[in-house]
Amino acid sequence: MRTFFRLLGRGVADLFLHPWAQLLSMAAVTLVVFLSGLLLMALATVDAELSASRGETVYQVYWRPGTDMAHVRGQWEELRHMPWLASLETYSPDEALTALARRMGETTGQAAGLPALDMGFLSGKSPLPPTALLTFAPREADPEKWAADTQTFLKAMPGVERVAASPLRDELGKAWRAASRFVIWPTVGFLGVVLALVVGNTVRLTLSTRREEIEILQLVGARNWYIRLPLMVAGALQGLLGGGLACLLLLVVHWRFRTALNVPPLLLELRLPPPEQAALLLAVPVLMGILGSWIAVRSR
Amino acid sequence: MSRGLCFDATSMLKISHLSHSFGAHWALKNVSFSLEKGEFLFLSGPSGAGKTTLLRLLHGALPVQRGAASVAGFDLTRLSGRTVPLLRRQVSVVFQDFKILPERSVYANVALPLEVRGLAPQHIGRRVRAVVRALGLENRLDTPGGELSGGEQQRVAVARSIVVNPQVLLADEPTGNLDPELSLRLMDIFMQFHAYGTTVVLATHSPELIRRHPDARLLRLEDGMITHANWPGGEVFRCADGGLHLGGGGNGPDPCGLDAPGIPGGSGNSGSSGDDNSGSGAPGNPDGRLSL
């Protein structure tokens, strides 16, 4: 046990044996992890934007004309507490009429040079039904089941005549969610492999400066674990320091440039990678530091 | 194909029909000899004769391809990744290029093989100081290896190899980088160490060193074969390939025989050594034995 701890200590101390080689190696690890982190950050930003704009599901609920408005307003209050609700627009029959008149004036009247439509004569006698426009941004494991359940719930509300869904936006949302499953994780996996290869090779090449030391230890009868343990500790530390430094740099970039792209027409806000991807940025260099050291002492 | 060996208790090093090739080039051809505990052997010969290959085989740095070999009780034909470190704890090696760690102190370099064995620090300190004192390096204990002169580095390498009191000490041109005076001093150290019972195999180019130790055994290698031997009290056979074989009579009926077809000058000897030997420059010895 004493030998074990002595070898762990030697692994740490050995980082200072060849400071320039270690420093350059750590810089290489930091840069490659930082680059991977930037790519993940870009991916997270794009994913968040696409999910926000295309992952929404919109329902328009129509009540029967003549339904008691006090009863309808009570239902609107209930709707405001529905999960995943992003926005709720409500229209009483008079509001619906006003909105209709304004929309018609904008689209036809102004184009033809006619004055805006005046529907004041229908005030209080609007034939339009009360309606509500509900926009959801669901993050459900099974979005199709959620959509079906929500539609059933809305249709079952007392006084509701029909519920219209926005099939195009719904389909776009579904398509993006499916695509993100097939795009994001394979991309993260590919980045992980690139990261692993570069970090592993960097650590392995750094150990070439200690080739003679390994050879001498083998000559004096050291067992493989005795040689490998300090090297693996040094490799893990190098991966941890390089990965940690890269994550710090990413935080600085996020803090400094978070809103730099939030200007028309981009309107993008930089997002940090989710925690499980950020953990990869630390775990992969550490594992590859250990593995690179292991491989370097593979042959006797 | 390897031959079986009969190992007796006193045999510290025994090789039989050992051949080794690097690609198409045979660096060692059918070499056989054995050494008992406490014997001293000079290996001489020109560069490329096979001395270093032989030493590398003897401490497990190269695998045995043909023939059989045993060192300090380890069958070299059956070495595995696990047993090589155990062999190297019994067999120390000194190289011409020292192979010391330049950034570590003299103490750390000499202590290395003891640390590897997991000895207590106090014990390591005692052993290291005693050996370093014997080699005149006591004032350089804390000096990094890279700041030492060539002679001092060589003494550190020797100290590292003898501090573990090995059963066999292999030295590959240990005096090659030293001036004559230092070479002689180093040889004295080897001889003192040998006097305590360690078997020493020392490869050298220097005829002067060999002349100064006429009692030691001597093998001259040329082109991978033993071409000359000073082997007091032993049996020497001259074979058809021009090589000599030592002490082979104890291993079987045919000291010159080869199991391995393809080794230059080797095939076809098996079972006919008597006839071959009698016609290959051993007049007066119908059984092929030479008197040395």
- In this prediction the ipTM stands at 0.77
- With CA atoms as reference, the chain A residue closest to B81 would be A300
DSSP-derived secondary structure letter, A220: T
Nearest-Cα distance to chain A for B116, in Å, is 5
Q: Do B85 and A223 touch (CB under 8 A)?
A: yes
- What's the confidence (pLDDT) of residue B285? 36
Residue written as tokens 């792209």?
A261
Chain A residues in contact with B164 (beta carbon < 8 A) = 220
- With CA atoms as reference, the chain B residue closest to A227 would be B116
B11-90+166-290 CATH, one of 3.40.50.300, 3.10.510.20, 3.40.350.10, 1.10.760.10: 3.40.50.300
User: What are the structure tokens assigned to A61, written together?
Assistant: 């609920």
Decide if B116 touches A, using CB distance below 8 A.
Answer: yes
Q: What is the CATH number of domain A56-173?
A: 3.30.70.3040
- With CA atoms as reference, the chain A residue closest to B115 would be A3
* Angle CA A205–A208–A211, to nearest 5: 155
**pLDDT tens-place values along chain A, 300 residues long:** 777 788 878 778 877 777 888 888 889 889 989 998 998 888 888 777 766 665 677 888 999 988 889 999 999 999 999 988 888 999 988 888 888 777 776 555 555 556 666 666 667 777 888 999 998 877 776 767 888 889 899 999 999 999 988 755 566 666 766 777 777 778 888 888 888 888 888 877 777 778 888 889 999 999 888 888 888 898 899 899 999 999 999 999 999 888 877 766 666 788 898 888 889 889 988 998 888 888 877 654
- With CA atoms as reference, the chain A residue closest to B56 would be A219
Nearest-Cα distance to chain B for A199, in Å, is 26
Q: Where are the domains of chain B?
A: 11-90+166-290
Decide if B101 touches A, using CB distance below 8 A.
Answer: yes
- With CA atoms as reference, the chain A residue closest to B161 would be A220
Q: Do A212 and B99 touch (CB under 8 A)?
A: yes
Nearest-Cα distance to chain A for B281, in Å, is 42
Q: Do B81 and A300 touch (CB under 8 A)?
A: yes
Residue among B85, B93, B164 whose CB faces A222 most closely: B85
Q: Do A222 and B103 touch (CB under 8 A)?
A: no
Residue among B89, B116, B117 whose CB faces A217 most closely: B116
Nearest-Cα distance to chain A for B127, in Å, is 16
Chain B residues in contact with A226 (beta carbon < 8 A) = 116
Q: Where are the domains of chain A?
A: 2-52+175-296, 56-173
Q: Is the model more confident about B156 or about B273?
A: B156
- With CA atoms as reference, the chain A residue closest to B110 would be A220
Q: Is the model more confident about B121 or about A112?
A: B121
Chain A residues in contact with B110 (beta carbon < 8 A) = none
Q: Do B117 and A216 touch (CB under 8 A)?
A: no
Strand B168-172 and strand B199-203: the pairing is parallel
What does the mean pLDDT of chain B come to? 79
Chain B residues in contact with A224 (beta carbon < 8 A) = 81, 85
The three-state DSSP-derived secondary structure of chain B is CCCCCCCCCCEEEEEEEEEEEECCEEEEEEEEEEEECCCEEEEECCCCCCHHHHHHHHCCCCCCCEEEEEECCEEHHHCCCCHHHHHHCCEEEECCCCCCCCCCEHHHHHHHHHHHCCCCHHHHHHHHHHHHHHCCCHHHCCCEHHHCCHHHHHHHHHHHHHCCCCCEEEEECCCCCCCHHHHHHHHHHHHHHHHCCCEEEEECCCHHHHHHCCCCEEEEEECCEEEEEECCCCCEEECCCCCEEECHHHHCCCCCCCCCCCCCCCCCCCCCHHHHHHCCCCCCCCCCEECC
Average pLDDT over residues B69-87: 91
Q: Is the pLDDT of residue B83 over 80?
A: yes
Residue among A3, A220, A224 whose CB faces B88 most closely: A220
Decide if B123 touches A, using CB distance below 8 A.
Answer: no
Q: Do A223 and B113 touch (CB under 8 A)?
A: no
Residue among A3, A213, A217 whose CB faces B118 most closely: A3
Query: What are the two backbone dihedrals, phi and then psi, of residue A233, each rounded to the nearest 5 degrees?
Result: -65, -45
Residue among B85, B100, B103 whose CB faces A221 most closely: B85
- With CA atoms as reference, the chain B residue closest to A226 would be B116
* Cα distance between the two ends of chain A: 25
Q: Do B89 and A218 touch (CB under 8 A)?
A: no
Chain A residues in contact with B59 (beta carbon < 8 A) = 219
User: What are the structure tokens assigned to B19, written together?
Assistant: 């051949």
Lowest-pLDDT range of A220-224, B54-58, B228-232: B228-232
Q: Is the model more confident about B17 or about A117?
A: B17
For A230-249, how does the pLDDT look when each residue is reduced to its tens digit (9 = 90+)?
888 988 998 999 999 999 99
